[in-house]
Amino acid sequence: MEADDIDLDVVDLFFDDNDYNPKKYQDDISKIQTFVAGHHARMNKVVLVTSGGTAIPLENQAVRFIENFSGGKRGAASAEYFLSEGYGVIFLYRQGSLRPYSRHFAGGNILDVLEIREDCKDGTCSQLQVDTTKMPSLMAIVEAYQTAKNSGRLLEVSYHSLVDYIALLKASSEALHLLGSLAVFYLAAAVSDFYIPPSDMPKHKIQSTSGPLQLALHQVPKFLRALVSKWSPKAFVATFKLETDEAILIDKALGALSKYGHQVVIANILHERRYRVIIVTKEEQKELLLSRASQDQEHDIERVIVRDICIRHDQFHKGTEV
Ligand code: 9Z3
């Protein structure tokens, strides 16, 4: 048996061993399939953007989880830029993480820009007014959001645990296969490499009276290989590689490219990720760096990343047509 087959078997076993929320899962899959079919009919490009972290439950009826740092800014901002590039966007995000457009209000309190009209304060009417001077960008953001929604180009699907994430990634990938090379994967979610299989989890809450807690975490199978070789083999795939040590970043990115055989790795260092990334392909390494002035004006590096990925996808798609 080839190493690839072994990997793919491990992925199948993972699905056999792990249960996920079947009701929500079925609803989500049918929404994804309908979305993809609609875009296929119009020969539109569609990108799957994954975003946010994953929760690793420690108990079967879970009270505690292992989490990570990702807040979902990369994914949410990128989804907006893909929409403005004309793509249909399936936004697969961790519940509670940032979302396209509403992310702009996450740092403040939206209630601060709303006012109850003077003549409504006796409760006889229900009109609110918006003080846009307190948030000058509000109109443009609402307009962009409504355009995306009304044109049917944005589908948001949430997940919570690692298992939910992987199940939805598989279902989306299989649906997107219909689009061939018009489909893009932009995998920005920070997915845990480790988890506890259900058979190893205690049924009830772990008791602190049992003394120090020792956990054995298992490795999550490498789903990317299944995605690239089996679930959606004609798509353009861009993944992210996160490290904290610059010395190993590029080697790890190149290692991922040769292991999975996909098109692009976007390499980033944790504390530089808002202003610097390196686009790594088999042929080149290209640094994208926001200038100091752009950083001061809080410009998004995602605009530049998405522009670069769209150009590469366009070339890839044209190359597959001949
Ligand atoms: C990233 O590297 C993203 O850029 C961040 C974005 C998660 C750093 P934020 O959500 O951060 O805006 O706060 N994502 C991928 C990280 C990852 O786990 N990649 C896997 C790996 O490095 C491969 S898919 O092994």
What's the pLDDT at 143? 95
CATH of 3-102+137-320, one of 3.40.50.10300, 3.90.1150.10, 3.30.390.50, 1.10.3720.10: 3.40.50.10300
| Domain layout of the chain by residue ranges | 3-102+137-320
Beta strands in 33-172 (DSSP E): 46-51, 56-57, 65-66, 88-94, 114-116, 128-130, 154-159
Residue nearest to atom 11 of ligand 1 (CA): 70
Give 43 Cα–ligand 1 centroid separation in angstroms. Answer: 30
**Ligand 1 nearest-atom number relative to CA 193:** 25
- Alpha carbon 61 to chain centroid, angstroms: 26
- Report the pocket of ligand 1 as residue ranges, CB < 6 Å: 70-74, 187-188, 190-191, 239-242, 268, 273
Q: ∠ at Cα 18 (17, 21), nearest 5°?
A: 150
Contact indicator for 113, 130 with CB cutoff of 8 Å: yes
Q: Which residues of the chain have pLDDT under 70?
A: 1-7, 20-22, 121, 123, 322
Question: What distance in Å separates the CA atoms of residue 166 and residue 67, rounded to the nearest whole number?
Answer: 16
Q: What count of other Cβ atoms lies within 10 Å of the Cβ of residue 242?
A: 18
What's the pLDDT at 1? 46
**Ligand 1 nearest-atom number relative to CA 274:** 12
| Ligand 1 probe mutation, 48, 241, 245, most atoms within 8 A of CB | 241
Query: Helix 73-84 and helix 138-150: axis angle, to 10°?
Result: 70
| Ligand 1 probe mutation, 70, 264, 302, most atoms within 8 A of CB | 70
**Ligand 1 nearest-atom number relative to CA 268:** 2
Give 270 Cα–ligand 1 centroid separation in angstroms. Answer: 9
